[in-house]
Amino acid sequence: MGRVGALWHLIVGETEHMEGHEFRAADEAGRRILVVDDEQIILDLLKRVLCREGYKVSTALCSDDAIIEVCNRTYDLAITDVDLCRSDGRELMRTIGQASPDTAIVIMTSHAEDGIVHFAREYAQGLLEKPFALEELLATVRAALESRVEDARRSEASSSLSSRLEAGVQA
């Protein structure tokens, strides 16, 4: 079974066995996710799973389309393949980080070599090695989104403290 077939089996097989699964639409309502991969079947599968969890999902087949999406909409999370056929996924992730610093990033790869793992530690909030299980996808998405929420809280607390300190110094 090929890589796409294995992913299809994992996702479809798991979703078929999740009839009793209580989806988290209430918790995740409004969270926007952009998925970037050069294989339409991967985009369709991930969109299906993430939409069932209550996320609002857009997809892009190439870096150019992804950059247009990020420039025109706010995304809470971008899940992107490193191995895009006509471009470097790492460069796309850097561009997303610059254009939309509040967007969390999860990297997908079919080979998690040292360079990609190092890149993920520096630029992303998660790493998925294909093929991955549905629960691994969902856990990684939740952790990446929670990481961004925590970062925003720390930033807000730091700004508030700085403002109070400045006000105290000026008084």
pLDDT tens for each residue of the chain, 171 residues long: 565 555 555 555 555 444 444 444 435 557 999 999 999 999 999 999 999 999 999 999 999 999 999 999 999 999 999 988 878 888 999 999 999 999 999 999 988 777 888 888 898 999 999 999 999 999 999 999 998 766 555 555 555 555 666 666 565
Taking domain 3-146, whether its CATH number is 3.40.50.2300 is answered by yes
pLDDT for the residue numbered 20: 42
pLDDT for the residue numbered 24: 47
Domain ranges in the chain are 3-146
pLDDT for the residue numbered 76: 96
Which of 126, 92, 95, 91 is closest to 112 using CA atoms?
126
pLDDT for the residue numbered 28: 53
pLDDT for the residue numbered 10: 54
Distance (Å, rounded) from C-alpha 14 to C-alpha 163? Answer: 50
Which of 120, 100, 104 is closest to 112 using CA atoms?
120
Distance (Å, rounded) from C-alpha 126 to C-alpha 144? Answer: 6
